[in-house]
Amino acid sequence: MRTAEIKRRFLAHFEANGHTVVPSAPLPAIEDPNLLFINAGMVQFVPYFTGQQTPPWTRATSVQKCIRTPDIEEVGITTRHGTFFQMNGNFSFGDYFKEKAIELAWDLMTRPQSQGGLGFDESKLYPSVYVDDDEAIGLWKRIAGLPDERIPRLGKSENFWSMGIPGPCGPCSEILLDLGPEFGEEGDFLNGDRYMELWNLVFMQNLRGEGTNKEDFEILGDLPAKNIDTGMGLERVAYMLQGVNNMFEIDEVRPLIDRASELTGKRYGASRPDDVRFRVIADHVRTGLMLIGDGVTPSNEGRGYVLRRILRRAIRAIRLLGFEDKALPELLPVARDCMSPSYPELSEDFERISSYAYGEEEAFRSTLRQGTTILDTAVKDTKASGGTLLPGAKAFELHDTYGFPIDLTLEMAAEQGLKVDEEGFRQLMAEQRRRAKADAQSRKTAHADMSAYRELLTAGGPTDWKAYETLNTESTVLGMLAEGSPIQVAKEGQLVEVVLDKTPFYAESGGQHADAGTITGASVSAEVVDVQRPIKGLVVHQVRVLKGELAVGTAVKADVDPEWRLGARQAHSGTHVVHAALREVLGPAALQSGSFNRPGYLRLDFSWRSKLSDESRSEVEEAANRAVRKDLPVAVKYMTLPEAREFGALALFGETYDETVRVVEIGGEWSRELCGGTHVQHAAQIGPVVITSEASVGSGQRRVEAVTGLEAFHYLARERDLVSQIADELGAPRAELPERISALMQRAKDAEKELANLRAKELRDSAATFAAQAKKIGDVAVAAVQAPDGTGGGDARKLATEIRGHLDPNKPGIAAVAATAGGKASLVVIVNKTGTAQGLSAQALVKGALSGRGGGNDEVAQGGGVPADQASALLQAVSAQVAGE
């Protein structure tokens, strides 16, 4: 029974019994700060179990996509660890409880397949229960007719369920399948592999507290209602019903192994190390597909880092099997075809998904080329000195300079029999973070010591800040700093920090850039280039003296550039408008996570799992401009933080606020945010809002950039001029430009394809000539060929195959092709069957030429990664080995 059919039957069974079919939640656990990914079927229903929200239904069923990564190193080593899996579940929210849950589960498990059930043999099923759950024991005996010896009582670690963190929990009953005596002793439910869990029925009735393991946690009390939460591992049931040995061999996964086997020439099942790599490839490519499909993109932190690590482990696994060309374009479409029967959106969105995956492989291939050489040298040096520990400094260099992840360094070093000085690596990483933090602070404070600021604050008191009230003030210079030290006089051309008794300048904060303007006196003029608040209560102006001398005690006039401030107000109010428009179009989940604005420009980061469609982007832009056209009123209110929350004002996640806060409204409840920035008085003053880009900036995070006011007019004018220029160049009306450009691009692609075909044909046609020129070394015909520059590994392999086809099959023959591309040389060796029968090995020849590197088998092998100028030397090394030199 195919996996998609098991899923269909499960949902149909519960829908027929009054359950609402609920779609799977996206894999990123955006709503739960305790989780990176959804790791159980019930996660999206937690608010209903805890009583925080009222469920829209009393019964639900779902097949939830899940990710678990704590055991990522175990993937492939065991046949039960996978990163992506699907959890069938049925849920009751205060409706039915133990009796109905057991009835529904037993019916589906044991009903014949011909009648829509799963058809498991009743005699092989054992429902375990929590040790003191007599009620469940009685129900199993009555409903399933099972004797006591078929219902094992197990302890808290086996039959009391929770997510591993504080939250809903309860005793459970697991339906176990007896796999037979070859897997362990009869009745031994705690050890061995004989009894496999297929379905866990959780009687969700308690709330747990903190704990360190499955048994060490406190029960805080009862949930508002007794609920049911069940979980049936779809992959586990699939491999039982499909008659295969493990989850890697079911219909949704095995085709990936088969394709990897075709690419590498290795056979699954032939050796344990290779089998582990095949399973890593299959699991990780499928997981990568599902993660990117749900909006996660590769990055260096959080969910994006998990995705990056998973994809890179898959890529490296297939390289270790001997395939060094781009692997994901060969494997990802296979994963798509396996999963799209259950998730058709994967096919619809495959262009986006594949672009992220293929881009990550390209980046990793570059990283490997550089980092592997450095690592190999470091390993060689460590071994030569008799050491067993790779220095932390070398691991840090690989990470910092070449982007080599530390986990990859650990794996590759372990394969060479070395450990890594992880403590030294972590110390260097910590030092780097401290330096980066100090550098960022120094750029904001001109390297001033904080004590100097505190002395200025103590001497002059808090700055009288007038940015909300006026654009100019009559002020006095209270103090100045140059390179961290107090000074009395700043001369022409000098860059210094100035503290005034009062100021109209807005200090950078809340995502708004600092004001620009001037500070002038009777005989001095200075330009304000930055304004910061290095410590609370003190506003510091970074100024460049343009004329005269600026001295402490001087009476000056502080003037904000009115055009600058107007642009800043437009951009900051525009940020609020775009945020409200995003939430209007996409829903409340599109919550701002960061922003930056300067005159005429804004960018806004927000939580969202996937790229905005062109339609959604246009709707957001229209909603923002509709608010501008309506000239929505802008109001500022002060209130306590609890009052603001009750008022419905949005706060930026991660920010800290005083007890009294400033709330900025645009159009009343349409936009209410806690904000300390400067704003327009009416929305129409923002001017047009034009979204210029939308892109991913990390796991579950998107970024929109936009321009406002005059910058928006300028942007549209440039776009108009560009379109006019293209139309003139093509001699076509503007309305026809998309079709004309598309046609030109297609012609270019066709030409590139034709060139590629001609090149491939040229290589094929040359194969006979190369074979005829083969040199005899003893009784072996060796065709050693250096391919034209730019020949990829795939073309080199095809050429070698063609050459072998022209060699006399009745005599031992070798086709060796060296190719150069991207500054590196690669080697492909193919031995005909007569040659392998006489003991020749393509793999041995490649490894001999490449000092142990490369992979393949006796017939076909390849390797590379050495400098391009060594191509001819690789061919000479092959010939020398054949000659026995």
Residue range 695-728, pLDDT digits in tens: 887 656 789 999 999 999 999 999 889 889 888 8
Q: Which pLDDT value is given to residue 448?
A: 42
Buried b (16+ CB within 10 A) or exposed e, 57-93: ebbbbbbbbbbebeebeebbeeeebbbbbbbbbbbbb
Q: Which pLDDT value is given to residue 833?
A: 93
Which parts of 353-471 are beta strand (E)?
389-390, 419-420, 464-465
3-class secondary structure, 695: strand
Cα separation, 492 vs 488, in Å, equals 14
Q: What are the residues facing 85 on neighbouring strands?
A: 66
User: 252-270: per-residue pLDDT in tens?
Assistant: 999 999 999 999 999 999 9
CA 187 from chain center: how many Å? 44
Closest CA to 636 of 663, 671, 604, 607: 663
Establish how many alpha carbons lie within 13 A of residue 332's alpha carbon, considering only the half-sphere containing its beta carbon.
27
Query: When comparing pLDDT for 675 and 403, which is higher?
Result: 675
Strands 689-698 and 555-560 turn out to be unpaired
User: Which residues, 6 or more positions from 710, have their beta carbon under 8 angstroms from its beta carbon?
Assistant: 567, 600, 687
Q: Which pLDDT value is given to residue 828?
A: 93
Closest CA to 793 of 858, 860, 839, 746: 860
Confidence of residue 681 (pLDDT cuts 50, 70, 90): very high
Mean pLDDT value across residues 301-310: 85
675 is in an annotated binding site: yes
Mean pLDDT of the chain: 88
Q: Calculate the alpha carbon distances from 877 to 743, 816, 817, 824, 856 in Å.
A: 49, 11, 12, 17, 18
Query: When comparing pLDDT for 101 and 756, which is higher?
Result: 101
3-class secondary structure, 787: coil
Q: What residue ranges define each of the domains in the chain, with the CATH number in brackets? A: 3-244 (3.30.930.10), 254-370 (no CATH), 446-553 (2.40.30.130), 565-718 (3.30.980.10), 758-882 (3.10.310.40)
66 is in an annotated binding site: no
Angle at 60 between CA 56 and CA 65, to 5 degrees: 110
H or E element at residue 865: strand 860-867
Q: Name the percent of the chain in helix, strand, coil, to the closest 5.
A: 45, 25, 30
Q: Which pLDDT value is given to residue 440?
A: 44
Cα separation, 309 vs 312, in Å, equals 5
Closest CA to 9 of 342, 292, 290, 327: 342
Cα separation, 88 vs 198, in Å, equals 10
Burial class of residue 388 in the structure, from the number of CB atoms within 10 Å of its CB (0-12 exposed, 13-18 middle, 19+ buried): exposed
Residues 855 and 863 sit within 8 Å (Cβ to Cβ)? yes
Q: Which residue shows structure tokens 């007719």?
A: 145
Confidence of residue 447 (pLDDT cuts 50, 70, 90): very low
pTM of the model: 0.53
Q: Which residue shows structure tokens 């990163």?
A: 83
Strands 601-607 and 592-598 turn out to be antiparallel
3-class secondary structure, 217: strand
Structure token digits, residue 135: 């009620």
Is the Cα torsion angle 805, 757, 353, 336 positive or negative in sign? negative
Cα separation, 537 vs 530, in Å, equals 17
| Winning range, highest mean pLDDT, from 23-32, 187-196, 395-404 | 187-196
Mean pLDDT value across residues 25-31: 77
284 is in an annotated binding site: no
Structure token digits, residue 170: 């309860």
Q: Which residue shows structure tokens 């890179």?
A: 312
| Winning range, highest mean pLDDT, from 394-403, 489-498, 815-824 | 489-498
Q: What is the largest CA-CA distance in the chain?
A: 102
CA 459 from chain center: how many Å? 50
Closest CA to 795 of 845, 862, 870, 720: 862
572 is in an annotated binding site: yes
Residues 789 and 818 sit within 8 Å (Cβ to Cβ)? no
Structure token digits, residue 73: 């190193």
Strands 160-162 and 502-503 turn out to be unpaired
User: 599-620: per-residue pLDDT in tens?
Assistant: 999 999 887 868 899 999 999 9
- The yes-or-no verdict on residue 658 having pLDDT over 90 is no
User: 521-550: per-residue pLDDT in tens?
Assistant: 999 999 999 999 988 789 999 999 999 999
Cα separation, 773 vs 769, in Å, equals 6
3-class secondary structure, 489: strand
Residues 595 and 625 sit within 8 Å (Cβ to Cβ)? no
* DSSP conformational letter for 203: E
Q: Which pLDDT value is given to residue 654?
A: 39
